[in-house]
Amino acid sequence: MVDWLMHNLRKLRGIVPALSTAMKRDGSIDEEGIRELVRFNLEKGVHAFAVTIIAGEFYKLTDAERKRVYDMVIDETNGKIPVLAGTSHSGTEPTIELSRYAMDAGADGIIVMPPFFGRVESSLYLHEHYSRIARAVDLPLMIQDAEDYTGVVFSSVAISKLAKEFSNIFMVKVEGARTLEKIGEIRKLNGNKMVILGGMAAKLLIEELELGSQGNIPDGCLPELLVDVYRRYRRGDVSGARRIFKKYERWLDYLSLHPLLEIALEKETLRLRGVIKSSYVRGPTLALEKRHTQSLTAILREIGVSSTA
C-alpha cells in the first residue's frame, strides 16, 4: 500500500487547493460546509487536496478538530484524488502523532512545515525533525517551506539532503521571497526526482511552471481559473494561460492589498460563491467590513465567476 501511494504521488501534478476550514457563525466546525467545499473543488477539476495547512487555519484548531477535518475530507473525496493531511505542529512528537492518525484515517500523504515556535531552535533541528517523522510514518511526506510564516529558512541543499536520505520525502511546497530561485536550485540538485509545487496563492504560477514546477498549492476559491491556466500551459497554449491568469490576478491583487485579511477574504469569496454559509474566521483576526464584501462581489462579476450575491 505504501509503495502504491509513493508511486501515485510521484506523479502528482496540477492544482492542489489548500482547503479552508469552514466554520459556523459561532466558530464551530461546519461539517457540511467542508464537504461542500470538497465537492465544489472536485467539480472544478482539481488534482489533489491539502488539508489543515495555513489557509485552513490549522494553528487555530485543536488536534481533535484537525483529525475530524481529515476524516471528513478523506471520506468526502472517497479516493477520487489524493488527500495530503497537514500535520504541522509546534513540536516533533505532536507532528508524529497527527501524522500517524492521518495515515490510519486513509490520507495519501502528509504535508509538514518546520516547527513554528522558537525559530532559531527549529532551524538548527530541521534535519532531525523531518528525519524522525519520515521514519515514524509510512506515508509520502511533503516539506512545506513557508519561511515567510515561520521565519525558518530551509535551504535548497537541506531539502535535497532529506530527499536523498528518505524515499518517502520527494515532494516540496516552495514559497517565500526566493521562490523562483529555490525551485531552480532544487530542480538542479534533484533532477526530476522531486515533485515541486509553488504556493503564495499561485501568484507566480506561470513562472513556476516555466522553471519546472509541477503545479501549485493555492486556496480553493477560484479553482476553475487556475485549473484552466494549468491545462492551457501544459498543452502549450501559454498565451491562453496568461489571458486566463489575468482574470485570477484581478482577485489576487485585491487580496494583496489586505494581507492581514487574506483568510477572511478567501472565506468571504467562498460564501459569495455559495459554497459555504459563513466566512467566520477564528481569532486572532481582523473583521471584514461591508466595503470588502462589496469589492469582492464586484470583482467576481468583473471576471465572470459565478456569485450568489
Segment-wise mean pLDDT, segments of 10 residues, the chain, 309 residues: 77 97 97 98 98 97 98 98 97 97 98 86 90 97 90 92 96 94 95 95 97 97 98 98 98 97 98 97 95 97 80
Rg (CA), the chain: 18
Q: What is the pLDDT of residue 148?
A: 82
CB 228 within 8 A of CB 47: no
Q: What is the pLDDT of residue 307?
A: 67
Question: 24 vs 71, 106, 179, 285, CA distance in Å?
Answer: 18, 26, 35, 16
Question: 270 vs 17, 35, 261, CA distance in Å?
Answer: 13, 13, 14
CB 215 within 8 A of CB 233: no
* Helix H or strand E segment including 37: helix 31-43
Q: What is the pLDDT of residue 308?
A: 59
**257: CB partners within 8 A, 6+ apart:** none
Query: Please, what sign has the CA dihedral across residues 269, 80, 190, 140?
Result: positive
Residue 153 main-chain phi, psi, to 5 deg: -85, 125
Question: How far apart are alpha carbons 194 and 168 in whole angstroms?
Answer: 11
Q: What is the pLDDT of residue 3?
A: 75
Supply the pTM of this predicted model. 0.95
Question: How far apart are alpha carbons 69 and 29 in whole angstroms?
Answer: 9
